[in-house]
Structure 1
Amino acid sequence: MDFTKNHKINLTKEMETLLITLQAKAKDSFSKHSILQDNKAADILQMIDYDFEKVSHFGNEMMVIRAKQLDTWLQEFINKHPDAIVLNLGCGLDTRIVRINLPSTIQWFDVDFPEVIELRKSFFSNQKGYEMIPSSVTDPNWLEKIPNNRPTMIIAEGILEYLSQDEVKVLLNRLTNYFPQGQIAFDVMSSFAVHSGKDSLKETTGAVHKWTVDHINDVDTLDSNWNRIANLSIFQSKYVHKLPLKTRFLYYTMAMIPNFRNMIRLLLYKF
């Protein structure tokens, strides 16, 4: 593969944040005890012309663990429903479709802003069973392009916090009303977490986190069609044990302090 840095990045605000998660996954692939083993992310990183140093301080390990847990829930769903529809919202340059063991009967859709999908097409191509949809997730029209005749798994990784609570509610209601059955997995950030990192995020990319969650019950009431089946702190994930010793100790310590433990949580709902 040609690793010439020939892909110049001109993304801003929340679109630029996809480079934070890309770098986190690429860095993990170089680790002796890699959690994701995401060699595709590493390949993409080497072909992008961007100063990754400016986004190197955003908690790479947290993003890797988040991705791994979402991968795990998705793989479990696919194992039970090998003919499922997978909807990956705010996909950025995520390589989940490469990381997951997919039967040929899966229909997978990656959705993101048109500018992001244009960049993504430099590294991925639409093909049988896989389609990229260029649209903001808040646009009401894109969903009708997705079939709704199978069990559906929806992943929203690192995206909902950039929407207002009203936008989140409208999106979730639209999804659970459109698909007859399935699961949806996503992450939420506490107001403590958002406040702690908002200046750095805005200064670096211009992006702003809008939706904060301090009480999971508030999320439960956003949609009458679903039931929560998992609520997991990043710092209590079973994948923490694969981190380097110093980071592992830090995470175990943070898991004992409520403000830190509840900073980022992963939620799984059935509808």
Structure 2
Amino acid sequence: MAAHTAHLGTVQETLLIPLYGRAVETRKQNAALRDPRAEEIVASIDYDFTRFDNLPSLIGTVLRTSVFDRWVADFLTTRPTGTVVEIGTGLNTRYERVADGQARWFDLDLPDVIELRRRFFSDAERRTMLAASVTDETWTDVVAAQSDGPYFFAAEAVLPFLEERDVRHVIDLLADRFPGSLLALDTAGPGVIDTQDEHDALSKVDARMRWSCADPPRLADWRPGAHLLASHTLTSLPPRLHDELPASYRQMLSGLAVQRLPQVEEYRLNLIRLP
């Protein structure tokens, strides 16, 4: 297979970290998640992925993705013909992991990412790639025109890289255009933001997170009527998901829970129902 060069912007380069995390995880005998497509994509991109070898954060990205997978799967269980929008889709393969062909699916990311993504994925009858910034209102017109909802928006490893004013704009945009929708997002507290230069993975790239969120429940206050349905750290995963992890992972997470490291406890995975 010919190698593809990844011409990506500074923040966009970070999509290669969870991609590599899923590829590495897939090779393990006892894996928390399997994604053979990620292995294929990593093998075909001309990039020095070895800079991320043996980093604990790779496991963190896999656990985060597993939580988002579970939330999307639960949504589609009750709303099989609903609409899922992957905000900052990168080279994610969530559609391959959880979709059953009935849902309407949109993969949204910046133009350089979608250009790379199109080398590995194609639009289909119920699946469409959108090249736009999440802060640009035009993509919401396309989603609203081509689907009826209900809607689930998955923003994994995206919003912390924006300024707070832009995060507020995105939440307002989603609430105004798609009332009653679900939004999954991760948040990083000040202990995470302040130690990025020492972060095992982010220290290997130039991108840095900008939005600090110390208290995720307060996100619901941004829009009257919004509700925080769930908020988890990597050491307080949903019980059903935690119990399905390999024993070595459960043991590792128990040890991290005792240490209560700010870099771990201030990073949260959240599910919000918008008004």
Instruction: Answer whether TM exceeds 0.5 for this pair.
Output: yes
Alignment deviations for residues 219-239 of structure 1 (CA, whole Å, 9 cap, x no partner):
222222421111111122244
- The answer to whether the 8 Å contact 1:86/1:107 transfers is yes
Does the Cα contact within 8 Å between 2:155 and 2:185 map onto a contact in 1?
Answer: yes
Residue 22 of structure 1 and its aligned partner are, at CA, apart by 0.3
Residue 169 (structure 2) pairs with residue 170 (structure 1): yes
- Other-structure match for 2:188: 189
**What fraction of aligned residue pairs are identical, expressed as a percent?**
26
Q: TM-score under structure 2 normalisation?
A: 0.90
Q: Give the corresponding residue for 1:54.
A: 51
Corresponding residue of 1:263: 266
- In structure 2, the residue matched to 1:252 is 254
Q: Distance in 1 between matches of 2:2 and 2:191?
A: 37
Rounded Cα–Cα distance in structure 1 between residues aligned with 2:193 and 2:26: 27
Counterparts of residues 71-82 of structure 1 (less than 5 Å): 71-82=69-80
CA contact (8 A) 2:88 2:107 kept: yes
Structure 2 residue ranges without an equivalent (≥5): none
Shift of 1:58: 6.1
| Shift of residue 20, structure 1, vs aligned partner | 0.5
Contact map agreement 2:160 2:209 (CA 8 A) in 1: yes
1:234 — aligned with what? 234
Q: Is 1:254–1:260's contact at 8 Å kept on the other side of the alignment? A: no
Which residue does the alignment assign to 1:90?
A: 88
- SS of 2:11 mapped into structure 1: helix
In 2, the alpha carbon distance for the partners of 1:58 and 1:261 equals: 11
2:203 & 2:233 partners in 1: Cα distance? 27
Which secondary structure state, in structure 2, belongs to the residue aligned with residue 69 of structure 1?
helix
Tell me the distance in 1 between the aligned counterparts of 2:173 and 2:132: 15
Match of 1:106 in 2: 103
Quote the offset at 1:240 in angstroms: 4.8
The Cα of 1:10 is off from its aligned counterpart by 2.0
Structural mapping, 1:8-47, within 5 Å: 8-47=5-44
CA distance in 1 between counterparts of 2:60 and 2:90 reads 17
The alpha-carbon deviation at position 69 of structure 1 amounts to 0.7
Pairwise CA distance, 1:106: 1.1
- The 3-state SS of whatever aligns with 1:133 is strand
Question: Using a 3 Å threshold, how does the CA distance of structure 1 residues 202 and 46 change in structure 2: closer, same or farther?
Answer: closer
Corresponding position of 1:160: 159
Instruction: Provide the secondary structure at the position in 2 that maps to 1:37.
Output: coil
Give unmatched runs, 5+ long, in structure 1. Answer: none
Q: Is the 8 A contact 1:169 1:223 kept in 2?
A: no
The answer to which of 6-15 and 195-204 deviates more is 195-204
Q: Quick one: distance in 2 between partners of 1:243 and 1:204?
A: 28
Give the 3 Å change call, closer, same or farther, for CA 92–177 of structure 1 in structure 2.
Answer: same
Return the offset for 1:217. 3.0
